[in-house]
Structure 1
Amino acid sequence: MNVNEHVIEQQSLTFVGVKRTFSYVDGENLREIPKMWQDALADGIEERLNRFNNGAIPGLVGICVDQRELQDNQMEYWIATSHSGEVPEGLVSIELPASHWVVFEADELKPEAIQRLWLHIMTEWFPSTSYQHAGIPELEVYRGNGTPPQVWIPIKSV
């Protein structure tokens, strides 16, 4: 897999959006997160969230919050946008601290491209690097305008 990656430093970020909880068991998260996106897009969430975007990260973001410390095999997934100010009605907010991130570019727009990218990161890239995960949520960044998505992995100081 030909993967383009680079490291960035990012100030703290606040996001607003919608969230759901998924299980890792039997790949439920791999099946259900794409359905969550389909439902949210059908409900007009993209247009609504883009109105609140503050430009820190353009477009929509999928936020992957590992909750295994709270409950085995559980994660929370957000569809959100970077935002400043009060939390709009009907949405929830999450703040991520300043961090270094390794940004990976998917090679195409299809939904399976992001899943292939995750597989590469977890099975090939992490085992072969000296970076350590920073322990905060990862991001899937969907910038729109036909641009392939990105996966942002938070790392401890480089």
Structure 2
Amino acid sequence: MEYRIVTKPGFDVIGYTIRTRMADGQNHRDIPAFWQRYTEKKLGETLYEQAVSMAEYGICDDFDMEAGEFSYIIGVEAKEGAEAPAGTIRRHYPEQTYAVFTTPMSTPEQFSDSIQRTWGYIMSEWLPEAPYTHAAAAEFEYYDERCWQDRNELLEMDIYIPVQPKSEEA
């Protein structure tokens, strides 16, 4: 699977968050269910007024490796001066270098599986062999018009993994 290395400038996100666990693949159940609730309740509509675009992020953050937990945020990139609506959070993410992977094109029914397979490839195959290590920063999914079901028969999105060259390891 091909990837590209990019340096993303710092940005702010406003969104909704859940806490999930990696044990027994709980996150693989919690996150799709969270997206389903987010979509069904049209929660994005409360965010778009504060956003720089209609693109949405799925961000893995606040890792507690000892407990096997992390937070997952569904949100939008905030306009300068945007206020977080009630029930949401605002987070700042500093400039970071990322390896960016695009999921294979898939039908809407297979989209979630495609995303999970891409994550699996990144973590179990690519990262152990890559000339990079996972940097201590948030990783995220970027959902833009390429995955809007009302415009596309086949969907794709990008996964951003924070990296640093192996030679820069502490």
Provide the TM-score with structure 2 as the length reference.
0.83
Residue 17 of structure 2 aligns to a residue whose secondary structure is: strand
**1:8-157 residue pairs with structure 2 within 5 A?**
8-55=6-53, 59-69=55-65, 72-84=67-79, 85-90=81-86, 91-109=88-106, 110-144=111-145, 145=148, 146=152, 147-156=155-164
Q: Any idea what the Cα deviations from partners look like across 1:56-99, whole Å, max 9, x if unmatched?
A: xx511000015225x51111000011012232322211111101
Q: Partner letter of residue 104 of structure 1?
A: F
- The structure with the largest alpha-carbon Rg is 2
Structure 1 distance, partners of 2:158, 2:95, is 18
Structure 2 distance, partners of 1:65, 1:88, is 18
Whether the aligned pair in 1 keeps the contact of 2:9 and 2:95 (CA below 8 Å) is yes
Structure 1 distance, partners of 2:94, 2:84, is 21
What are the ranges of 5 or more consecutive residues in structure 2 without an aligned counterpart? Answer: none
Whether the aligned pair in 1 keeps the contact of 2:131 and 2:165 (CA below 8 Å) is no
Provide the TM-score with structure 1 as the length reference.
0.89
Assess, with a 3 A threshold, how the Cα gap between structure 1 residues 14 and 157 changes in structure 2: closer, same or farther: farther
Aligned residues: 153
Identity across matched positions, percent: 25
Residue 135 of structure 1 aligns to a residue whose secondary structure is: coil
Alpha-carbon RMSD across the aligned residues, in angstroms, is 1.8
What are the ranges of 5 or more consecutive residues in structure 1 without an aligned counterpart? Answer: none
Residue 107 of structure 1 aligns to a residue whose secondary structure is: coil
